[in-house]
Amino acid sequence: MAAVNWDLIEQIAHELGVTKYATAKWRQRGQVPYKWRLPIVLKSDGRIRWEQYHKMDNQRRRDVN
């Protein structure tokens, strides 16, 4: 599975109108809010995949435990 490309996620999120402050918070937390996941996947033309979100979620779970 490919690594999470935060630069691409942030670029697409900014194109969708998300602020730099918000995307910095996402990166710090290691997770994209569910509200933005589908729009980012659709706008990415296949460059961002659902599997990357699963990887983020799994990593976050490991960090909490």
Torsion on CA atoms 51, 52, 57, 63, rounded to nearest 10: 130
Is position 41 within any domain?
yes
Question: Taking a C-beta distance cutoff of 8 angstroms, is the pair 14, 7 a contact?
Answer: no
Is position 13 within any domain?
yes
pLDDT in tens, 24-60: 999 999 899 999 999 999 999 989 988 888 888 887 7
Q: Domain count of the chain?
A: 1
The overall pTM is greater than 0.85 = no
| Domain with 52 in it | 6-64
Is position 21 within any domain?
yes
DSSP 2: P
Is position 1 within any domain?
no
Buried b (16+ CB within 10 A) or exposed e, 31-56: bbeeebbeebbeebeeebeeebbeeb
